[in-house]
Every structure is written in structure tokens, then in C-alpha cells.
A and B are shown apart, each in its own frame.
Chain A
Amino acid sequence: MAEEVVIRAEGLTKRYAATVAVDHIDLEVRSGEIVGILGPNGSGKTTTILMLLGLTEPTEGRAEVAGFDPLREPLEVKRRVGYLPDSVGFYDGLSARDNLAYTGRLAGLSRREIDERFTEALARVGLPDIGRERVGTFSRGMRQRLGLAEILMKRPSIAILDEPTATLDPHSTQEFLGMIRGLKTDGTAVLLSSHHLDQVQSVCDRVALFNHGRIALSGSVTELAQRVLGGGHVIDVEVRGAGIRDRLAGMPGVVRVQELGPELYRVDCDRDLRPEIARLLAPSSELTGIRFAEPSLNEVYTRYFDEVRRAA
């Protein structure tokens, strides 16, 4: 059974006087899916998030979040959505528990639910035993984790994370990405805005690339790579033998061959040439692996914006 669409935007537009911040975007996110939204600063990502949350009114178009219209039923939407802004802020003078109890009460949780969920959420984000400490003493990483704990306490069907790892060190980032994957395991749909393309690629099922308020590209990373990098079939070949590079380059349909290591070759080709490569190399060489290489989102992103700049 196809997963339910939990976020749907149709022609969503936001104008500030003469400036078009978001320009007729269409977006769909299904339950249990992690969708990344990428794009340069000012490309409309945060404005889109704010419209989906009902925190700013769209000028045109409509959205549906968790089955509700954020414009007319923002409270229903916000009951079902957890939001983590970039550099999340807390009341420094209050303890972690008091901070989360406050938003928990606003979210409609009872005192008992807050007590139960607080301990569980803190354990999940790796911050047990800090409930009574003042947030003013916390590092940025701890604050981000606490922000995620707030989302976990709410048990939303959708989590919207706006550049959640922007201020984290590499180790904390990896841990945080693991927690985001945990949300997916819970069945929560995640909309993740980030500038860290490798991170987006490592956790997202699909991505939407924003440019000048429009979604320029959307789909899985492989789909984007096919559209932006051309051909789109990148095959990694692990093989030991002589003259491999020349033999691969001579095959019809091969665009380029790169030698990534002593026994590892990357082949760009215009179609799936895995059977042909296997037939060519297996008899005379020691072929140990042949698989599609994951295209790099970084490469897709860079190539796309290079082309946009050239076209301009």
C-alpha cells in the first residue's frame, strides 16, 4: 500500500511587495519518508517551512499538512508537526525540564505525559540526567539535541528540521543524523532543510532543490544525477588485471573511465552496461565487484548551479 501523503503543497507562493520569495512550488512528502530541501540562502526554503507550519500566510496556492490546511487550521497542523529551527533557542534561566514542560503544556500534553515522555526523549537523544540543569549552561550541540527531544515528546506525524546540524561538530552531526533516521523508523515524515549535501544524501529518500523560490529539481539523488549529470549511469568496477582502463574506455556507450584506486574504476556510461562489462572482463581478469556508484549530491548541486550561472 502506498504511504499516505502527509505534506502536499500546490502552487504555493509567497510575495513580499515586489519580491517573490516562493514561486508556485509543488511538493509532496509521504509518511515515513525523509525529504531534503536544498538551495542557496534566500532560495525560499525557510519561507516554505513557515507557510507549511501556518506561521506565515501564502500569497497564492494551497498546502495540506497532516490533512489540514495550515492557513485555516494552523492549530491542528501544529498539533501534528514538530519543528526544530536552526540554532534553536531556549529560556536559559529555566531547566531543560521546565523548558520542555512549557512547550509540552502548550502542545496539550498532560503533566503525566510530560513526565513520562521527557525521560524517554532525553534518553533517546543521549542526554539522560540533565533534566534539572539550566539550559544556559548547555553547548549548542546539547541544545539541538534538546530541540529534537522536544519533537520526540510531541510524537508528531511530521518533523520539520531547518538546518539542524548547522552548528554541530562532525561527531555530533553523525549522532544527530542517526536520530533523524530514528524518526523515520518511528514512521514520522521528515522535511529536512540543510546546506550539508553529504548529510542530506546520507539520510534523505528524496530531495527538492530550490532556486529563486522555485523547486528546480526534485526526486531521488540518482534521478537528479541522471537529469543533471547526463547519461546518469555510474558504475564502480572492482577488478584486478592488465589494461583494464583501455578495455573499458573502448566499450560502446562508455563516456568516461576514472581510476579511483589500484583495483577500482568508475565508469560513466549512457546506459546500464553492467552485463556487458562483466562479459568483457570476467574471462581474462579477476572481477571482484560491479555495482552502481552512488552519484554525489554535491556534484549534482555544483553542476546544476554552474549551469544556471552559465545560462544567466
Chain B
Amino acid sequence: MRRSGSPFTGVGIVLAKEAADYLSGARMWLVEALVFLTAIAAAYAAILSIRANIGESPFLFLRLLTMAQDPLPSFIALLGFLIPLVAIAIGFDAINGEFSRRTLSRVLAQPIYRDALLLGKFLAGLLALTIGLASLWLLVIGLGLLLLGLPPSGEEMVRMLGFLVATIAYGGVWLAVAFLFSVIFRAPATAALAALGVWLLFALFWSVVTPLLATLIAGPPEDIFGPNLAYLQTAQALDRISPNTLYAEIALALLQPSTRALGPVFYSQIQGALLGAPLPATQSFILVWPQLTGLVAAMILIFAVAYVAFQRQEIRA
């Protein structure tokens, strides 16, 4: 059956209202403040360390993002850990909050499809996330300019821009997860707990789970001939189910230009290679393309599941 009218009617209006709500809400300010303070502190600590040996690397700005200085982890490690929290904070009550406020039926009684509401809210969340991350990105570059006294090179800018895009896609995955739970669970607290549970699983426990599963599927890590390649490949494939792994691999390849491969490398593959020599940015992008598309695909897939679930729901408080 075909319905008249565009499913996108009203998306812009919902997007504008929701983005304003997200950006001005106290919850968003608190979470953003946490991310900004810790990330800036990590970047600042890295800058102090880099200044001591400024001539060691041609990619100073990239080191600013990847260098860890005790007791703080690196900027990218912090982002990888905290971005899901921001995304979950934005999305955990996106739909069930409308139910509990009893606003859903009133809004959907206006001439829009529910597609527009869900998509508008999701895009607004993604926009809020993008604005926050882009601000942070600019702040770190500004900090680097001020304290290092050097501008970033063109290649560094391209790599950092790629990293920013990957970070937004990574945040988008967690935003979609939060939206999915906000559709499934009517209580916002339950949705938040479920989303945090998934985040904890991938952030802390997945690296413990994957070796066990890989052993079950492909046998032990070592056999009589040495490392078991089937095990390594299985473990890696399982690892890559986690968006955290995909994001970490993208960060590694883009921000450490000497990275030539992600995963097991054979001697035949590195014959003639100058170890430690940086890859051109285009080659690094080719290296992480599957991971980047994987993150975007995961975001779309999870959002699609949330969309189908929302379409099947009854609109009554």
C-alpha cells in the first residue's frame, strides 16, 4: 500500500527543535564538559612531552593526539572511551521520553510521518555530536598551534580530518544503539542501562571474550607449527564486531602514518618495505576504508532496526 506525501515532511523542523534542545540541555553540557576537560588535559600533557623532543617526528600534531603521558591516556584513547557516553546521553530517551512526557501522540497528530520524527531526532543528535567533536578538534589544533608554535602540515590536516569523520561515525554507531534502546524500552532508565551495558561489553569485556570464542571456533592460538592463523583471523574478525575495535584501527592507521597493515602480516608482504617509513595519506585511507565503511554501515543498520521497531509500535501513552 502506498501512502501519499513525503516521509521526510517535517524532518527539518524536528531536526532544528531537537538540535536546539540537545545543544542547550544541561545533560549535554555536563557530558561535553567532561569530554572537553579530559581530552584537552590529555592533549596538553602530550604537547608538554612533545616540546621536550620536538625534532623527533615530522608528524607532531598527530603525536599530540596519540601520545599518552602518565597518568592520562592519549587523546584518542579518551575519545574512544568517552564518545559512546556522550552519544548514549543524547539518545537514550529520544523516543521513550516522548512517550513518558505524553508528547508523542500530540506531535504525530500533526501532518508528519513517524519516519520524520525518528530521522529528525537522529540527525539532530548526530549534528549535536558533530558540533561538539568539531569544536574539540579545533580546540586541540589551536592548542597545538599556541604551544608548539608550528602549524600542522597539509597531510596532518587531511589525516586529522579523516579521524574527525571516523569519530563522528563512531559516535553515530553509539547514538543509533541508544536510539534503538529508546525505542525498545519504555522506561528511559532501562534504555540507558541497556546501552551502557553494551558499551561496557565492547569497551571492557570484548577483548576477554573474543579469544575464548576464537579458541572455540578455530582451535588454540598456537599449534605445533607455531601461531594458528585460523585462530588469529577468527579472533580479529570477532574483534571487529566491536565498533571500538574498528575505531581504534582507524585511529591507529590514520594518526600513526608508519602503520602499514591492520592484522596479521606475512613476511612476503613486507619484503622491500622500509620499516617505520610513513605511508602516504591516501594509502592510509585505503587501509582504513573497510573499517570506516563498517562503522557507517553499523550506524545505518542499527538505526534501521530502530526504525522498523518504531514503525511497529502503537502510538498511545
Q: Could you list which residues of chain A lie within 8 angstroms of chain B, going by C-beta atoms?
A: 46, 50, 53, 55-56, 71-76, 78-79, 81-85, 87-93, 102-103, 105-108, 147, 150
* A50-B316, A87-B317, A92-B101 known; A75 vs B5 contact (CB < 8 Å): yes
Q: Which residue of B lies closest to A85 (CB)?
A: B105
CB-contact partner of B9 in A75, A83, A90, A92, under 8 A? A75
B1 within 8 A of A: yes
B111 and A83 within 8 A (CB): no
B103 touches A91 (CB 8 A): yes
Nearest neighbor of A74 in chain B, beta-carbon distance: B3
In whole angstroms, what is the CA distance A108 to B5 when docked? 13
> Given A53-B109, A74-B113, A83-B106: A102 and B13 within 8 A (CB)?
yes
Among residues of A, the one whose C-beta sits closest to the C-beta of B3 is A72
The answer to whether A106 touches B10 (Cβ under 8 A) is: yes
CB contact under 8 A between A108 and B103, given known A72-B1, A76-B4: no
B187 shortest CB reach to chain A, Å? 16
Among B3, B101, B111, B314, the residue within 8 A (CB) of A107 is B111
Which chain A residues lie closer than 8 Å to B102 at the CB level? 85, 87-89
Closest CB pairs A-B (n = 5): A89-B102, A83-B109, A106-B110, A75-B5, A78-B111
How far, in angstroms, from A78 to B111 measured CA to CA in the complex? Answer: 5
- A291–B25 CA distance with the chains assembled, in angstroms: 63
Q: 25 interchain pairs (CB within 8 A)? A: A50-B314, A55-B109, A55-B315, A72-B3, A74-B5, A74-B111, A74-B113, A75-B9, A75-B113, A78-B109, A78-B111, A83-B106, A83-B109, A85-B105, A87-B317, A89-B317, A90-B106, A91-B103, A102-B107, A103-B107, A103-B110, A106-B10, A106-B107, A107-B111, A108-B111
Report chain B residues within 8 Å CB of A75: 4-5, 9, 111-113
Question: What residues of chain B lie closer than 8 Å to A150, measured between beta carbons?
Answer: 106
Q: Are A147 and B106 CB-contacts (below 8 A) given A106-B112, A108-B111?
A: yes
Q: What is the count of residue pairs linking A and B with beta-carbon distances less than 8 angstroms?
A: 88
Residues of chain B whose beta carbon lies under 8 Å from any beta carbon of chain A: 1-5, 9-10, 13-14, 17, 21, 25, 101-113, 314-317
Which secondary structure characterizes the binding site on chain B? loop
Q: Of B5, B9, B10, B108, which is within 8 A of A55 by CB? A: B108
Quick check: A106 and B4 within 8 Å, CB to CB? no
Pair B17/A102 contact, Cβ less than 8 Å: yes
Residues of B within 8 A of A106 (CB): 10, 13-14, 107, 110-112
Are A73 and B13 in contact, CB atoms less than 8 angstroms apart? no
Q: Are A78 and B110 in contact (CB under 8 A)?
A: yes
Interchain CB contact under 8 A, B105 and A55: yes
Q: Given A72-B3, A102-B13, do A107 and B106 touch, yes or no (CB 8 Å)?
A: no
CA of A296 to CA of B205, assembled, Å: 68
Query: Which B-chain residue is minimally distant from A53 (CB atoms)?
Result: B109
Distance of A107 Cα from B110 Cα, bound (Å)? 5
Q: How far is the CA of A172 from the CA of B3 in the complex (A)?
A: 40
Select the residue from A50, A79, A147 with max chain B CB neighbours within 10 A.
A50
A257 to B234, CA, bound (A): 91
Chain A residues in 8 Å Cβ range of B109: 53, 55, 78, 81-83, 85
Residues of A within 8 A of B112 (CB): 75, 78, 106
Question: Contacts A85-B105, A108-B111, A150-B106 given: A73-B4 contact, CB under 8 Å?
Answer: yes
- Once the chains are docked, how many angstroms separate the CA of A90 from the CA of B10? 18
Contact between chains at B101 and A76 (CB < 8 Å):
no
Q: Which of A50, A73, A85, A93 contacts B106 (CB 8 A)?
A: A85
Residues of A within 8 A of B103 (CB): 89-91
CB distance from A210 to the nearest CB of B (A): 16
A55 contact set on B, CB distance < 8 A: 105, 108-109, 315
Min C-beta distance of A128 to chain B, whole Å? 22
Determine the residue in chain B with the shortest Cβ distance to A91. Answer: B103
Q: How far, in angstroms, from A50 to B9 measured CA to CA in the complex?
A: 20
Chain B residue with the shortest CB-CB distance to A46: B316
Q: Which residue of B lies closest to A101 (CB)?
A: B17
From B98, which residue of chain A is reached at the shortest CB distance? A89
Min C-beta distance of B130 to chain A, whole Å: 23
Docked complex Cα distance between A185 and B13 (Å) = 33
The distance in angstroms between the C-alpha atoms of A78 and B117, with both chains bound, is 15
Give the shortest distance, in Å, between B18 (CB) and chain A (any CB). Answer: 10
* Distance of A62 from chain B, by nearest CB (Å): 12
